[in-house]
């Protein structure tokens, strides 16, 4: 079982959007529409910011502003989605190998997973530091499969963004799209997941 983190296990959308709005207002003087940022969910933070920055130096400054602002809000705003901890614990109890495949950098990913009570259940955590090409490239998914020692056809990748589905499909896994994240079903349908999930517990039903 491979999972994305933000928007899939962790309810972090409002935290991310507050950080985005603050960063854009600080550096651009105004904030572009929320949809401009939402469309890039699933990409790495630095890749996202480069879409808005007018220079490399501004992109670096934006990254610092974003992270500093996020540090002050992170622990009070990040929480697991209802049922996420229980379902992951049940998968662990059943003996499934579990991996996180996230575009979140390692420090932030580990902080979030510990806060949500999820870290102890996962056998591997793949972040952008572990790969050359982040999602939607298949490399992070392939890295997770290698860490777990399983073939792609034995794995299911659960994510909330088209980038997750694209990465899983390109790597050869089955894919399931989480409908509780920020992307509407229509956006996810275009990426062609094998299944749609309405609740966290749907993962267990799908495996059964």
Q: State the catalytic residues.
A: 4
Residue 118, burial from CB neighbour count under 10 angstroms (0-12, 13-18, 19+): buried
Distances (CA, A) of 27 to 34, 59, 157, 170: 16, 9, 36, 36
Phi, psi (deg, nearest 5) at residue 54 = -95, -5
Residue 42, token pair as written in the block:
């699933």
The β-bridge relationship of strands 79-80 and 10-11 is antiparallel
CA 138 to chain centre: 14
């Amino acid at each position: 079982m491979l999972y994305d983190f933000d928007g899939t296990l962790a309810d972090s959308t409002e935290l991310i959007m507050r950080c985005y709005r603050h960063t854009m207002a600080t550096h651009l003087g105004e904030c572009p529409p929320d949809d401009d940022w939402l469309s890039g969910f699933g990409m790495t933070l630095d890749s996202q910011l480069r879409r808005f920055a007018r220079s490399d130096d501004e992109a670096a400054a934006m990254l610092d502003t974003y992270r500093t602002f996020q540090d002050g809000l992170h622990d009070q705003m990040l929480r697991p989605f209802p049922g996420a901890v229980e379902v992951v614990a049940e998968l662990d109890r059943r003996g499934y190998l579990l991996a996180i495949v996230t575009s979140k950098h390692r420090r932030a990913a580990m902080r979030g997973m510990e806060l949500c009570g999820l870290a102890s259940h996962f056998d591997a955590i793949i972040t952008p530091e572990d790969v050359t090409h982040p999602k939607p490239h298949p490399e992070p998914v392939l890295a997770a499969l290698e860490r777990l020692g399983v073939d792609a056809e034995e794995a299911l990748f659960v994510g909330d963004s088209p980038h997750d589905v694209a990465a899983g499909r390109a790597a050869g896994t089955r894919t399931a799209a989480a409908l509780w994240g920020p992307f509407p079903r229509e956006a996810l349908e275009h990426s062609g997941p094998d299944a749609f999930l309405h609740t966290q517990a749907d993962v267990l039903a799908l495996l059964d």
